[in-house]
Structure 1
């Protein structure tokens, strides 16, 4: 189904979280600034040939550099998006967000807003609006136009004329107009036949605690235990290749075994830009599977991090969380 077959948006809610797009100079450097609604209105008014849907504007509080984004902020953003659709009469949402953690937030919202009957786009810019060669206005106007043309329900990332699935892309450049790239990931994919009601957008969610540990040569149980003993509910292990780790280290494996026994969900993904985890290919991977590590398949770090927050934040039974980790919920394993 193409975007042209979807109903054009008539009234967009623009949610401004801060980020480079609206930053202005301060004594300490560029910082998030209020007043973006007026600047956006002025710019769009100066482009009479530009046809965009009607829009409303809401400034989130606090405005942040996206490097300061947190899962707690995600829950406020989730509530603001739902409120825009269910209470404010909008039929779509455009989120203005800093690029550093944009892919994380957009991926998280894919899981937090399952079933929301509206399209949600995320965009931002690499340079602030108003500075020479800024990409801010082209991304704002392009995203609004994309919504006006009609988009499917769910969350997408819009940047430099492209629409991307947030669960399949990442920021790979700190410069230029194309910082985001759709990654070629693969792995065993089984679509979830049905989803528990707790995962739908209408069900309340709470904050969860998820850690991430990239594996490096020589990593040992001490580093792993430091994370596992920090109070986390889940841990993402970024493995080598197709899902290998220090399988000849009995202390490391014992720590992972204790994690499973203590109810901590451990998921393996690959450090590679392409491919995915297949824990049964190498002995070093099958030993991880043997102590309870789950396969993240081809999930990106952004996708699995957001997915675990949603699964754990829905108060699902632990067995159900573990089952759904390895099943495709909204295209993260496609």
Structure 2
């Protein structure tokens, strides 16, 4: 249900938006609340009431990890459950913003208020910065009313948190929702084990693209590192070197010992549909779960949220195959 937000939590994690110049270049900095309030006053921005919370130390999002995701989710849960806010704006660096938006989409299932992420390609206060337009635009979007769930506001666009990816390293219009086909059954309801109140823990995951010449021994070495889930980036509609018996055996053995294997397409406009080619069917026979048209960011974030909740292999595979928040189906 769409409701205009009246009191926003602004959760600051660092990133380019608040960076300042140091001896080695731009670095994350504290003190962003005062800069926000000063700019709002100077611009005469009419915004909903808001209060500020920062995660310390502020970080460059290139250093983002699972524990940061858990800290963000815990902070949001604490403020929402205490009734202090009816909307959340999370300020984040752009390098891993799409990863965090995807992870939070699954960590915050059932949260009754909207969460909106934004950041900037140029720091606030620099010439031609996009910081204030993104920040105040996001606050206005929350004030106008958004459905509960995680979204991203960037360069004037609202985007689904579990569908977007970063396309550019310099352009201000840096993010887009890829035109990937999205089909798949929706979950009839969100299980209590996946609710945003459910505690999570870090889990060892890996992402591996297939490429010509990949060797079974290389895949085995990755699997032997202790990963509990692997996102395999396949060709086209979910194909791979199906004539490599050693590689197929390596994947089969990994699944048999409890590793969750999921498949995404390497193609920007692709999706996994194993049955089209024999090579896809043979790869699927190792136990790979199709991610359909999900992005790398969404597949990794979803796998983390499911395994991190303590679900067993069969449960993870079951819920991964269903649409939980719009990541798989329109």
Task: Output the TM-score relative to the length of structure 2.
Answer: 0.98
Counterpart check, 1:41 vs 2:37: yes
Which residue is 1:15 aligned to? Answer: 11
The CA distance in 1 between the partners of 2:320 and 2:219, in whole Å, is 21
Distance in 1 between residues matched to 2:76 and 2:94, nearest whole Å: 19
Distance of 1:103 and 1:260 partners within structure 2 = 28
Q: Is the 1:21–1:129 Cα contact (8 Å) retained in structure 2?
A: yes
How much does 1:188 deviate?
Answer: 4.0
Task: Name the stretch that deviates more: 309-318 or 27-36.
Answer: 309-318
1:210 Cα deviation (Å)?
A: 1.1
Mapped partners of 1:89, 1:167: distance in 2: 26
Instruction: Using the TM superposition, give the Cα deviation of residue 194 of structure 1 relative to its aligned residue in structure 2, in angstroms.
Output: 2.4
Measure the CA separation in 1 of the matches of 2:83 and 2:147: 20
- The alignment partner of 1:167 has SS state of coil
1:289 paired residue number: 284
**What do residues 231-270 of structure 1 show as CA deviations (whole Å, max 9, x unaligned)?**
1110000011000111111110010011111100111100
The answer on 1:198 being equivalent to 2:193 is yes
2:21 match: 25
Tell me by how many angstroms 1:317 deviates.
Answer: 2.5
- Mapped to 1, the partners of 2:210 and 2:216 lie a distance apart of 11
Whether 1:117 and 2:117 are equivalent positions in the alignment is no
Runs of 5+ consecutive residues of structure 2 not aligned to the other structure:
none
Paired position in structure 1 for 2:90: 95
1:204-219 matches, cutoff 5 A: 204-219=199-214
User: Residue 181 of structure 1: SS of its match in structure 2?
Assistant: strand
Q: Deviations over 1:115-136 (max 9, x none)?
A: 0010100000000000000000
Which residue matches 1:55? 50
Q: Match for residue 333 of structure 1? A: 328
Q: Judge conservation of contact 1:12–1:94 (CA < 8 Å) in 2.
A: yes
Aligned to 1:144: 139
Shift of 1:327: 1.1
Aligned equivalents of 2:29, 2:211: Cα separation in 1: 39
Distance 2:42 2:173 in 1: 26
- Is residue 256 of structure 2 the alignment partner of residue 261 of structure 1? yes
Residues of 1 paired with 2:57 and 2:198: CA distance? 25
1:203: Cα distance to partner?
1.4
Q: SS state of the match for residue 268, structure 1?
A: strand
Report the 3-state secondary structure (helix = DSSP H, G, I; strand = E; otherwise coil) of the residue aligned with 2:150. Answer: strand
1:129 aligns with 2:90: no
**CA distances 1:64-117 after superposition (whole Å, capped 9, x unpaired):** 000000011100110011112122611111000000000000110000000001
For residues 3-39 of structure 1, give each alpha carbon's deviation from its aligned partner in whole angstroms, at most 9, with x where no partner exists: xx72211110101100000000111110000111000
Q: Report the Cα offset of residue 197 of structure 1.
A: 0.6
**Secondary structure, in 3 states, of the residue corresponding to 2:34?**
helix
In the TM superposition, what is the alpha-carbon distance from 1:187 to its structure 2 partner?
5.0
Does the aligned pair in 2 maintain the 1:188–1:278 contact within 8 Å? no
Shift of 1:145: 0.5
Counterpart of 2:134 in 1: which secondary structure?
A: helix
CA distance in 2, matches of 1:326, 1:166: 18
Q: Are 1:250 and 2:250 counterparts?
A: no
C-alpha contact 1:187 1:278 (8 A) present in aligned 2? no
Task: Tell me the distance in 1 between the aligned counterparts of 2:162 and 2:217.
Answer: 31
C-alpha distance in 2 between matches for 1:289 and 1:244: 9
